[in-house]
Amino acid sequence: QVEQVKLLDRFSTSNKSLTGTLYLTATHLLFIDSSQRETWILHHHIAAVEKLPLTTSGCPLVIQCKNFRIVHFVVPRERDCHDIYNSLLQLSRTAKYEELYAFSYNPKQNESEQVKGWQLIDLAEEYKRMGVPNDYWQLSDANRDYKICETYPRELYVPRTASKPIIVGSSKFRSKGRFPVLSYYHKNKEAAICRCSQPLSGFSARCLEDEHMLQAISKANPSNRYMYVMDTRPKLNAMANRAAGKGYENEDNYSNIRFQFVGIENIHVMRSSLQKLLEVSGTRGLSVNDFLSGLENSGWLRHIKAVLDAAVFLAKAIAVESASVLVHCSDGWDRTSQVCSLGALLLDSYYRTIKGFMVLIEKDWISFGHKFSDRCCQLDGDPKEISPVFTQFLESVWNLTEQFPQAFEYNEAFLLQIHEHVHSCQFGNFLGNCQKEREELKLKEKTYSLWPFLLAEQKKYQNPLYNPDFSPELTLLEPNTVSFNFKFWRNMYHQFDRSMHPRQSMFNLIMNTSEQNKQLEEDIKELEAKIKQLNGQSDVILVKEQEQPAHPVPVALKSPACFQKEQPPMPVNDAVRTIEGSNTADNRYSELVSEFSKAEPAVVSLEYGVARMTC
């Protein structure tokens, strides 16, 4: 606990600050300012802590978080600052999974709730929903004991014609043993999205089993003879891989394939791209042109567009040509996950529902072994393994929600919350790198699943504009991927910099109004029931009297009484309104007020003759 700590506004030029007390708990860093407002920062969210040179007011400490929050404290005494710095360094770097928050987090659920929570998302059920197993696809037990591929799930769907020797042979010819398996089946087109890793082809190697495997996938689609093989890497990268004995499919060796590069950059490019983006967006007093050129130089939006373009290509191949598509990158757990999941999202409206989106993440990201632990740096590890691949996926989805405001059941807050928890290590879902590792950690017994918690508060994540009939089942969502459609995601990268956001949120207003509408509908039902009840209770005379107001004369006669009696309901009405009103106030006016106090332009400084705007 350190007192008299100042919290600076990141973008303010006026050195305005909040003074308060900093507490360090086992799991969180807590700052309480003089007006008792609390800022909680989870240790796992801390990406970097930096001590800046001592200033007259104290020792500045800058904390960067994985959810893009940046806090700037000034600690009066250097020793305290040093202590906090060291503690945070230790606390934010965890060496063992068992020390992560998820293992100590206790949401007061009993055991059966915990088990039920983990059963909420059932992938076997999901494959059934897609229509597999069927005449062409079956469940394979080849990987039941993770013998063929450690990073794949136990249950895998493959073409019926792919026998075990073919699977084994193919897996030996694929990087990390990740042989082609089913990711999504489009039952109307009978076409499939399959995923795998790169072939170990080098310059000339070939593998008959692998060729058979692809043929089996191709044949499992009765409506189209050829299939696409999408290598999501830039061609140059794929060619360079050949020197290391890896590479890409040679069209001559595989019958009826159409091979396609789509040029999504690797995890290292993405990491440094995000780094550049954050550097630009974090600059104080940024000019428009510096922002735009910084955005351009970071390449971030270019990468997002590349990912979405690839997904559109994939979805069109299936929806328009009824062709099956095999997607891979190098290891098949980063770009492949992005493209497969986004492709499925474009094809199948189920994934645009709250539950469906959870299933999609569970299937294409968690079960197929996207290395969440490494990519999000859950444990203190190799910084070169960190990469915002999943963030890009969420951003691509956000771009789609912007273009199709009525197509998604969930809203931006849902995406942001998932992003928050991918890094929070508070729930077991995203811990570890693959299913095998998760089983070894006994996550289902020792930790809780995120999804039931999100479902329980799903009101917050519902899109009030959602129209379930927006697109019929299994019709393609066709986004426009012209460059100007891609925007900087302010609510992600400046989520905590509130002075940047609109002071009144149209979204919140619509959310609340829509919520209020439901409440009002209930009220009306209730009132109507009561009136009916009263009508029923009362005898004929009363009913007649009830009708009286319809006649002008009785109304006039009774009007003084009416007036008096009208009084009591009015306050009730008002009370209801103020409750609802205060609800909107929570989301708008209080925000507005606090914004005003924060975002007041700095005083015109007479000495320099320039007025600086802080907002």
Q: Which of 81, 301, 346, 354 binds another protein (CB under 8 A)?
A: 301
Task: Based on the shown chain and the rule CB under 8 A, indicate whether residue 85 belongs to the binding site for another protein.
Answer: no
Which residue, 160 or 501, has its beta carbon nearer to another protein? 501
Q: Which of 3, 113, 521, 547 binds another protein (CB under 8 A)?
A: 521
149 is catalytic: no
Task: Based on the shown chain and the rule CB under 8 A, indicate whether residue 520 belongs to the binding site for another protein.
Answer: yes
Q: Which of residues 400-459 bind another protein (CB under 8 A)?
A: 403-407
Residue with tokens 């659920």: 109
Quote the CA–CA distance of 352 and 172 in Å, as a whole number: 36
Is 267 assigned a ligand-binding role in the annotation? Answer: yes
The radius of gyration computed from the CA coordinates of the chain, to the nearest angstrom, equals 29
Closest to 326 (Cα-Cα) out of 394, 232, 396: 232
Which alpha helices (DSSP H) does 326-403 contain, by range? Answer: 335-347, 354-360, 372-375, 389-403
Closest to 391 (Cα-Cα) out of 275, 498, 545, 260: 275
- Show the site string, 556-585: x = touches another protein by CB under 8 A, - = not: -----xx--xx-xx--xx--x---------
Task: Based on the shown chain and the rule CB under 8 A, indicate whether residue 295 belongs to the binding site for another protein.
Answer: yes
> Which is catalytic among the residues 81, 149, 194, 329?
329
Token representation of residue 64:
């960067």
Give least dist CB 353 to another protein, A: 18
Task: Based on the shown chain and the rule CB under 8 A, indicate whether residue 164 belongs to the binding site for another protein.
Answer: no
Is 201 assigned a ligand-binding role in the annotation? Answer: no
Task: Based on the shown chain and the rule CB under 8 A, indicate whether residue 293 belongs to the binding site for another protein.
Answer: yes
Q: Which of 255, 546, 559, 590 binds another protein (CB under 8 A)?
A: 546
Give least dist CB 229 to another protein, A: 25
Token representation of residue 407:
């197509």
Is 332 assigned a ligand-binding role in the annotation? Answer: yes
**Sign of the torsion angle spanned by Cα atoms 379, 381, 387, 389:** negative
Which residue, 333 or 351, has its beta carbon nearer to another protein? 351
Element (H, E) at 70: strand 70-75
Give least dist CB 544 to another protein, A: 11
Token representation of residue 393:
């996926």
Q: Which of residues 29-68 bind another protein (CB under 8 A)?
A: none
The 3-state secondary structure of 254-285 reads CCCEEEEECCCCCHHHHHHHHHHHHHHHCCCC
Token representation of residue 13:
């030029």
Quote the CA–CA distance of 8 and 15 in Å, as a whole number: 7
CB 470 within 8 A of CB 409: no
Q: List CB contacts of 116: < 8 A, sequence separation 6 or more.
A: 452
Give least dist CB 289 to another protein, A: 5
At 49, which amino acid appears?
A: V
Give least dist CB 314 to another protein, A: 20
Q: Which stretch binds another protein (CB under 8 A): 54-62, 293-301, 382-390, 449-457?
A: 293-301
Give least dist CB 309 to another protein, A: 10
Q: Which of residues 455-514 bind another protein (CB under 8 A)?
A: 464-465, 467, 480, 482-488, 490, 493-494, 499-506, 509-510, 513-514
Give least dist CB 14 to another protein, A: 12
Is 330 assigned a ligand-binding role in the annotation? Answer: yes
Task: Based on the shown chain and the rule CB under 8 A, indicate whether residue 611 belongs to the binding site for another protein.
Answer: yes
Q: Which stretch binds another protein (CB under 8 A): 22-30, 115-123, 262-270, 534-542?
A: 534-542
Task: Based on the shown chain and the rule CB under 8 A, indicate whether residue 203 belongs to the binding site for another protein.
Answer: no
Q: Which of 527, 556, 557, 575 binds another protein (CB under 8 A)?
A: 527
Q: List CB contacts of 402: < 8 A, sequence separation 6 or more.
A: 485, 487
CB 92 within 8 A of CB 26: no
CB 201 within 8 A of CB 211: no
Q: How many residues bind another protein (CB under 8 A)?
A: 88
Q: Which of 38, 135, 523, 586 binds another protein (CB under 8 A)?
A: 523
Which residue, 275 or 293, has its beta carbon nearer to another protein? 293
Give least dist CB 83 to another protein, A: 35
Which residue, 456 or 534, has its beta carbon nearer to another protein? 534
Task: Based on the shown chain and the rule CB under 8 A, indicate whether residue 115 belongs to the binding site for another protein.
Answer: no
Q: Which of 135, 528, 547, 586 binds another protein (CB under 8 A)?
A: 528
Q: List CB contacts of 490: < 8 A, sequence separation 6 or more.
A: 500, 501
Token representation of residue 373:
């632990």
Query: What 3-state class would DSSP assign to 193?
Result: strand
Task: Based on the shown chain and the rule CB under 8 A, indicate whether residue 597 belongs to the binding site for another protein.
Answer: no
CB 52 within 8 A of CB 60: yes
Residues facing 257 on adjacent strands: 227
Token representation of residue 266:
């690797």
Residues in the chain: 615
Q: Which of residues 214-243 bind another protein (CB under 8 A)?
A: none
Give least dist CB 506 to another protein, A: 4
Which residue, 133 or 263, has its beta carbon nearer to another protein? 263
Q: Which of 52, 89, 286, 556 binds another protein (CB under 8 A)?
A: 286
Quote the CA–CA distance of 180 and 38 in Å, as a whole number: 50
Task: Based on the shown chain and the rule CB under 8 A, indicate whether residue 21 belongs to the binding site for another protein.
Answer: no
Quote the CA–CA distance of 593 and 37 in Å, as a whole number: 15
Task: Based on the shown chain and the rule CB under 8 A, indicate whether residue 592 belongs to the binding site for another protein.
Answer: yes
Which residue, 266 or 514, has its beta carbon nearer to another protein? 514
Closest to 256 (Cα-Cα) out of 319, 195, 323: 323
Burial of 24-59, coded b for 16+ CB within 10 Å and e otherwise, reads beebbbbbbbeeeeebebbbbbbbebebeeeeeebb
Q: Which of 78, 549, 557, 586 binds another protein (CB under 8 A)?
A: 549
Is 333 assigned a ligand-binding role in the annotation? Answer: yes
Which residue, 251 or 523, has its beta carbon nearer to another protein? 523
Which residue, 249 or 591, has its beta carbon nearer to another protein? 591
Q: Which of residues 302-331 bind another protein (CB under 8 A)?
A: 302, 305
Is 335 assigned a ligand-binding role in the annotation? Answer: yes
Which alpha helices (DSSP H) does 404-442 contain, by range? Answer: 412-424, 435-440
Distance of CA 547 to the CA centre of its chain: 57
Residue with tokens 């990087």: 175
Burial of 157-188, coded b for 16+ CB within 10 Å and e otherwise, reads bbbeebbeebbebbbebbbbbbbbbbbbbbee
Task: Based on the shown chain and the rule CB under 8 A, indicate whether residue 124 belongs to the binding site for another protein.
Answer: no
Q: Which stretch binds another protein (CB under 8 A): 42-50, 315-323, 440-448, 592-600?
A: 592-600
Binding site as annotated, residues: 266-267, 329-335
Binding site as annotated, residues for substrate: 266-267, 329-335
Catalytic residues: 329
